Structure 1
Amino acid sequence: MRRRTRVMAAALLAGVLTATAAPLATAVPSAAHGEAVRSRPGDPVQARLDALVARDGVPGALAYGGGRTWTAGTAELGTDRPMVGADASVRLASDTKPFTAVAVMRLVSEGGLGLDDRAGRYLPQLADSRVTVRQLLKQRSGLTEYTALVDWASPLDEAGYLQLAIDHGQDFAPGTRWGYSNTNYLALGMIIEQVTGGDFRTYIDKAILRPLRLDHTYWPAEEEFGLRGPHAHNYGVSPADPGAGVVDVTELPGYQFGASGGLVSTPRDLNAFWDGLFGGRLLPARTLRLMTHDTSDVGGRDVYPRGSRYGYGLASFPLSCGGVYWGHGGDLPGNSVEGGRASGGRGTVTVYTTTWTAEGRPLRRVLAAADAALCAGTR
């Protein structure tokens, strides 16, 4: 989940972290903890990961691309466990949005849904709104961020959350601006359900996860807080007790993150998703081209470096070696995920950190690690 989703994560965490958060037993590892840092001198990807750990206080960091895995730090503070690899479970946060967007575009390509359909055709709450399916995909609807409006002591269903955003009023007129809001993808998940007659999770499983054999990508069950299979611990500030500082926030109510940010995957599976999407296995070429060509300039805003553009649940990031990579990013208090597939057949990469690294120097290092991995063969 990107910047505004941190509000949602904080609110949702408040309900579960009171019981699960525990103060860290040790400080974040530094370069002095040689057993926790795998160094490969002269490797630019490794150098960025090592700096995240040694200089920015990141417990663990990983990059996976081209069949190679780079790691730094530890999988669990206070232990000598090395950082996990490409088959470990990771909360995708807003990297879920591309899956939701692809599901919507499959319905569009099959004729069951129109991009310029009014969202109110499918969602009664938006019956009086001019917001279209296309504007939801592009983050140009003007729907305000619902997560900041919720009383998490009395949670609602998805329809209730959408109504909160509608009652609050638009941030701007539909189509006039770009504004990242998780409400857009909350609404898209609901539209998928109206068109298919089933849960959006079931449709994404059927349309994307199974065809690509993403066997380690899943939607958490409603009462499931932990991560399945091997995984690193995640660390961040608990909104239930911010005075405690950084604590273990591995357990989260992932089901509640929904179509905006609920998926759990692995770096290997996530790379396979990008390869499958841009390799033409999920959508007709003309549909995919629309997702990456009908875009908004978002460079210099939020987490996006200059030259970035946002399409239909996909963002482009400029590469130092020329061209771009198309992907997305996601952030929670306990982790960040970045990456995608580069133009010109230069590969695919996922970068993962076990704490939030969505601004400032840590973000620049994460983006630089992705850039170095994708540009390695061109230097």
Structure 2
Amino acid sequence: MHRKRIAAAVLLAATLTGALAPVAASRPQHPVQRQLDLLVNRDGVPGALAYDGEVTRTAGVAELVSGRHMPGAQGRFRLASNTKAFTATAVMRLVADGRVGLDDRAGAYVPQLAGSPVTVRQLLKQTSGLPEYTALVDWSGAGTPEEYLALALDAEPVFGPGDDWGYSNTNYLVLGMVIDRASGIGFRTYVERTVLRPLNLDDTYWPAPGELALRGPHARNYGVHPALPEAGVVDVTELPGYEFGASGGLVSTPEDLGTFWNGLFGGRLLPGWALRLMTGDTTDIGGRDVYPEGSRYGYGVASIPLTCGGVYWGHGGDLPGGSVGGGRATGGRGTVTVYTTTWAAEGASLGHLQGAVDAALCGGGRR
């Protein structure tokens, strides 16, 4: 869900690289497969997958103990921060319907922010300056959005509202609360009604309270559990997904995620002017966090340059047990989802994950 650097997760690379190398070494070296193989052979990722809307490519294994193959395009995985694009779309649906204003103060919907100048637009754009709440939570138990927000508000703002850009899950925690108040039915139900159902995303769901396991076919995930960091790298497939909420809680499949990107950027979810705002009112974030030079952040979606020209619009997502990249390229070049079964958001592994996305969208996906 968040992009904070979890240094202990890097230990997994040294542990697994030798064990998994023979599995990936026999794969043909076309552009996308080469990047997946590098993730496994060099970076120690247990399993990696890329799906471009037609072809599924994998490297490594879905489970270290059994060595079973990675699932296909219908396999479930946690969307982590890709969830933000769904939440932002739901907010823009409320804006389009006249139920929320982009320049409304968040405090009009969230009493804890009464008196704060932070606006809905700043939350969407990650320019509010609200501190990161996920680093302050005790993940050994459950909490409420109000309790999580209180942790963030007790900390010093990172910067003044609108003064800078800073990635913070707190922004989308608050947007979930905005949707709750404006829709009257809760953000989960509202996202289901306005995003999931219209696109028939039947394999995408919000975990129920207390639900730890993933439903349906899925790979196992490995990393440092946020509630048990002293245990080192462990199986972290079971996580309290409900607690990740509007900033990172959705579970989906590569097939469903591709359908979402096509539906959003194909104009099936929002009027044209609303979509143009999401992708036109942007901030230069090149070289910041995990974003390469030339990247820009809009409303819950980011544009990332492609080596073949143009950009792709999407979002990334990271949890201790996985990283996700991808989106839809401009110029009708399709969509791609790439994910790993451990945290891969730094250094060479990030480069290989992003390289797989770029190779697929620049024409290497179907070779």
- DSSP 3-state at the match of 1:146: coil
- Corresponding position of 1:64: 51
Contact kept? 1:37, 1:74, Cα under 8 Å:
no
Partner Cα separation in structure 2 for residue 170 and residue 240 of structure 1: 25
Partner Cα separation in structure 2 for residue 93 and residue 60 of structure 1: 17
Structure 1 residue 209 corresponds to structure 2 residue 196: yes
TM-score where L is the length of structure 1: 0.90
Change (3 A) 1:254 1:241: closer
Partner Cα separation in structure 1 for residue 49 and residue 324 of structure 2: 10
Partner Cα separation in structure 1 for residue 105 and residue 305 of structure 2: 33
- Corresponding position of 2:2: 2
Which residue type is aligned with residue 191 of structure 2? I
Contact kept? 1:29, 1:77, Cα under 8 Å:
no
- DSSP 3-state at the match of 2:16: coil
Partner Cα separation in structure 1 for residue 300 and residue 67 of structure 2: 38
Which residue type is aligned with residue 28 of structure 1? L
- DSSP 3-state at the match of 2:262: helix
- DSSP 3-state at the match of 2:92: helix
Alignment of 1:147-162 (within 5 A): 147-152=134-139, 155-162=142-149
- DSSP 3-state at the match of 1:150: coil
Partner Cα separation in structure 2 for residue 154 and residue 335 of structure 1: 21
- DSSP 3-state at the match of 2:182: helix
Structure 1 residue 370 corresponds to structure 2 residue 357: yes
Contact kept? 2:219, 2:341, Cα under 8 Å:
yes
Which residue type is aligned with residue 311 of structure 1? G
Structure 1 residue 51 corresponds to structure 2 residue 38: yes
Which of 206, 225, 250 is equivalent to 1:238?
225
Deviation at 1:82, TM superposition (A): 1.1
Which of 8, 16, 32 is equivalent to 1:28?
16
Which residue type is aligned with residue 216 of structure 1? D
Which residue type is aligned with residue 181 of structure 1? S
Which residue type is aligned with residue 276 of structure 1? G
Alignment of 1:244-283 (within 5 A): 244-283=231-270
Contact kept? 2:139, 2:227, Cα under 8 Å:
no
Stretches of structure 1 that go unaligned for 5 or more consecutive residues are 11-23
- DSSP 3-state at the match of 1:184: helix
Partner Cα separation in structure 1 for residue 215 and residue 20 of structure 2: 31
- DSSP 3-state at the match of 1:339: strand
Deviation at 1:160, TM superposition (A): 2.0
Partner Cα separation in structure 2 for residue 258 and residue 360 of structure 1: 28
- Corresponding position of 1:94: 81
Deviation at 1:154, TM superposition (A): 6.4
Contact kept? 2:188, 2:206, Cα under 8 Å:
yes
Deviation at 1:377, TM superposition (A): 6.3
- Corresponding position of 1:351: 338
Partner Cα separation in structure 2 for residue 3 and residue 132 of structure 1: 23
Deviation at 1:285, TM superposition (A): 1.1
- Corresponding position of 1:338: 325
Which of 96, 118, 128 is equivalent to 2:105?
118
Alpha-carbon displacement from aligned partner over 1:222-263 (angstroms, at most 9, x marks no partner): 011000000000001235554543211110000000000000
Alpha-carbon displacement from aligned partner over 1:5-27 (angstroms, at most 9, x marks no partner): 969xx9xxxxxxxxxxxxx9x95
Partner Cα separation in structure 1 for residue 138 and residue 60 of structure 2: 37
Contact kept? 2:20, 2:40, Cα under 8 Å:
no
- Corresponding position of 1:218: 205
Alignment of 1:127-142 (within 5 A): 127-142=114-129
Identity among equivalent pairs (%): 67
Change (3 A) 1:244 1:129: closer
Partner Cα separation in structure 2 for residue 33 and residue 42 of structure 1: 14
Which residue type is aligned with residue 84 of structure 2? K
Deviation at 1:364, TM superposition (A): 0.3
Which residue type is aligned with residue 3 of structure 2? R
- Corresponding position of 1:311: 298
Structure 1 residue 191 corresponds to structure 2 residue 172: no
Change (3 A) 1:37 1:322: same
Partner Cα separation in structure 1 for residue 179 and residue 20 of structure 2: 50
- DSSP 3-state at the match of 2:350: helix
Partner Cα separation in structure 2 for residue 37 and residue 205 of structure 1: 38
Contact kept? 1:30, 1:53, Cα under 8 Å:
no
Which of 153, 158, 171 is equivalent to 1:171?
158
Which residue type is aligned with residue 50 of structure 2? A
Partner Cα separation in structure 2 for residue 104 and residue 363 of structure 1: 30
Deviation at 1:78, TM superposition (A): 2.4
Stretches of structure 2 that go unaligned for 5 or more consecutive residues are none
Contact kept? 2:84, 2:300, Cα under 8 Å:
yes
Higher deviation after alignment, 206-215 or 239-248:
239-248
Contact kept? 1:62, 1:71, Cα under 8 Å:
yes
Change (3 A) 1:377 1:166: same
Q: CA RMSD in A?
A: 2.2
Deviation at 1:79, TM superposition (A): 1.9
- DSSP 3-state at the match of 1:37: helix
